[in-house]
Amino acid sequence: MKTFIVHFLIAFLGSYVYFKYGDPLLPYNAVWAVMVSVFIMFLLWLTSPFYHRSYFHKLPRALSFVMFFLKELVVANLRVAYDILTPNYHMKPAVVAIPLSVTTDLEITLLANIITLTPGSLMIDISADRKFLYMHTLYVKDDDLELVKQHVKNGFERRLIQLTR
């Protein structure tokens, strides 16, 4: 995590300085700026096995996690938008208690934030012994609460655990 932040700052400042004060070969626009910073990050990533071995494996997983999250975000947003624009409600709300396997403060905060950002689900509370997470969700297929729990546990939580441990 620390390595990622340092690399990200280096890449961002590198591309910023290159386009602001350097003599760029490319015409400036947003696409090229992002491409240059991605290129710098890629170079730094290639050097990382020498000082931070696990970072080398974790960055591709982190990227796939971000892609998965963006996909979920857009799909769920479209589903809620469809529900808003058509006259009948298709939703079946429920309050679900999700058993947690993440333990530390950072992991629980990240998981709660991600769940709340996905439309149609809202964190309500966490139990006092940190074993359960109470979530208000909009779409439950045929009253099967297990399916919702499995979706969260296999989708977000598994990937988050892979990332932070």
Partner 1 sequence: MLEDINFLLIREIISSVLIIVGVMFMLISTIGLLRFPDFYIRMSAITKGATLGLGFILSGMGIYFNEPDMLLKVMLIIGFTFLTSPVAAHVIGRTAVRNKIPFWQPTNLEEFKEYLRKEHSTHRDHQRDNKHL
Give Cβ neighbours of residue 131 (< 8 Å, ≥ 6 apart).
Answer: 99, 100
Q: Residue 73 or 161: which CB sits closer to partner 1?
A: 73
Strand partners, 158: none
Smallest distance, partner 1 to C-beta of residue 145, A: 7
Give me the DSSP letters along 93-122: -EEEEEEP---SHHHHHHHHHHHHHSTTEE
Smallest distance, partner 1 to C-beta of residue 106, A: 13
Give Cβ neighbours of residue 61 (< 8 Å, ≥ 6 apart).
Answer: 159, 162, 163
Q: Which residues bind partner 1 (CB under 8 A)?
A: 12, 15-16, 19-20, 27-30, 33, 73-74, 76-77, 80-81, 83-85, 89, 91-97, 112-114, 116-125, 127-129, 132, 134, 136, 138, 140, 143, 145
Residue 45: name the closest of 60, 31, 61 by CA.
Answer: 60
Q: Residue 52 or 79: which CB sits closer to partner 1?
A: 79
Q: Residue 19 or 65: which CB sits closer to partner 1?
A: 19
Strand partners, 97: 134
Smallest distance, partner 1 to C-beta of residue 57, A: 25
Smallest distance, partner 1 to C-beta of residue 33, A: 6
Q: Residue 23 or 143: which CB sits closer to partner 1?
A: 143
